[in-house]
Amino acid sequence: MKNVILFSLFILFGYSVYSQNDNRVKEIRTSIGKKDTTGWVKGAGLGFDFGQLLQINPAVGAGENKIGLGGVGSFYANYKKANIAWDNNIDLLFGIQKLGSGFSNLTASERVPFQKSIDEFRFNSKIGYKTSPNSKVYYSLYSTFLSQITPTYTDTSIVNPIKGSYLRDISGKDQGPIAKFLSPARISVSPGIDYKPNMKLSIFLSPASAKLILVADKNIAAIPARNAKGEPIGGVGIHGTEWNSPTDFKQKLFQLGATFNAQYVDKFLNDRLNFKSGLTLFSNYLKNPQNIDVDWSTETSVMIWKSIAVTLNTRLFYDDDIPVQITDKDAVGGINGLGKKVSFTEQIYIKYNYIF
């Protein structure tokens, strides 16, 4: 319990906007009184949310105990000098919650567990070179990495294939996690052309992108994706790799295709409102190229005092190879099996930005 809380507090961080080109680098350094000597701009953002409720001998119908910890965070390091630009960004999202107290109604011998509300680790890097100082086109290499931070446990019974996202195994069956770091991991490497007409917009296109879904743990790769009836669907593992039987499955899925990425950053209301949006589209040449994978994120921040802002994050995600949990308000636990659906996430938090 103490370790969980300490770990959660340690990673309560938040997104922050990073520079797009030479003008943006100079703008940031001017605002904090630093000279542009090394070409590097580095910074971090911290954001968190916390909710707690304690009830002792509550009235009937008055509710139950609750504790929730969570947040988001970012570290960026961007380099711009001469004809070279190199942007690096690490984003973390993590949150846990516990509703109720005493022993769990899922397993009588286990205390009410903490559940994960969100868990994501993302790293992006893009390095580019332009042939002349006045050119708006960079020859670039764009790479991404996405995984989770901690193991996730659930009850993978036939009746309901997904029941909760717990920090430890409470099933009593020693069935192991359904996800953890590198299981799954999504990795992409995309050489291409990056067009930057101004300090607000970046448009990247790669005609030959390599994309990999990796499930490093073979026990996790052996879990099939199941529909609402608990039946395996379409020869697909729980994280999108090939699955034919508990002994016949793959731990990797390689894709080759085209990638389009657009980034837009702007300020409004005398710089009190900051907006950032990023859209990535991917078409897999090797399978169903007409079905486009979509990853679209936005960040809207309203400054309330100095470097402190109220921030709204959204993310819309669809991958033609990755099954997701289907939300159904009429189903037990609100989940009705797995399938190919659009996934949407929204989060509001308080963020503090720091540039160094």
Work out the number of other CB atoms within 10 angstroms of the CB of residue 95.
22
- Tell me the three-class secondary structure of the chain, residue by residue: CHHHHHHHHHCCCCCCCCCCCHHHHHHHHHHHCCCCCCCEEEEEEEEEEEEEECCCCCCCCCCCCEEEEEEEEEEEEEEEECCEEEEEEEEEEEEEEEECCCECCCCCCCECCCEEEEEEEEEEEEEEECCCCCCCEEEEEEEEEEECCCCEECCCCCCCCCCCCECCCCCCCCCCCCEECCECEEEEEEEEEEECCCCCEEEEEEEEEEEEEECCCHHHHCCEEECCCCCEEEEEECCCCEEEECCEECCEEEEEEEEEEEEEEEEECCCCEEEEEEEEEEEECCCCCCCCEEEEEEEEEEEEECCEEEEEEEEEEECCCCCEEEECCCCHHHEEEEECCCEEEEEEEEEEEEEC
Q: What is the pLDDT of residue 163?
A: 67
For the cut 80, the answer to whether the pLDDT of residue 29 exceeds it is no
* Tens digit of each residue's pLDDT (9 = 90 or more) over 313-339: 999 999 999 999 999 888 776 788 899
| Alpha-carbon span 2 to 312, nearest angstrom | 29
User: Average pLDDT of 303-313?
Assistant: 89
For the cut 70, the answer to whether the pLDDT of residue 1 exceeds it is no
For the cut 60, the answer to whether the pLDDT of residue 103 exceeds it is yes
User: Average pLDDT of 34-45?
Assistant: 76
Q: Where residue 51 falls among pLDDT bands split at 50, 70, 90? A: confident
Q: Where are the domains of the chain?
A: 2-355
Find, among 123, 163, 161, 121, the residue nearest to 143 by Cα. 123
* Tens digit of each residue's pLDDT (9 = 90 or more) over 157-173: 544 556 678 898 877 77
Q: What is the pLDDT of residue 306?
A: 83
- The partner residues of 123 in beta bridges, in order of sequence, read 90, 145
Query: Which residue did the predictor score with more confidence, 125 or 10?
Result: 125
Query: Which residue did the predictor score with more confidence, 147 or 328?
Result: 147
User: Average pLDDT of 263-282?
Assistant: 95
Which of the residue ranges 78-82, 264-268, 324-328 has the most confident prediction, judged by mean pLDDT?
A: 264-268
* Tens digit of each residue's pLDDT (9 = 90 or more) over 175-224: 889 999 999 999 999 999 999 999 899 999 999 999 999 999 999 999 99
Which of the residue ranges 9-13, 151-155, 344-348 has the most confident prediction, judged by mean pLDDT?
A: 344-348
For the cut 60, the answer to whether the pLDDT of residue 280 exceeds it is yes
Q: Where residue 131 falls among pLDDT bands split at 50, 70, 90? A: confident
Q: What is the pLDDT of residue 175?
A: 80
Give pTM, 2 decimals. Answer: 0.85
| Alpha-carbon span 253 to 244, nearest angstrom | 14
Q: What is the pLDDT of residue 210?
A: 98
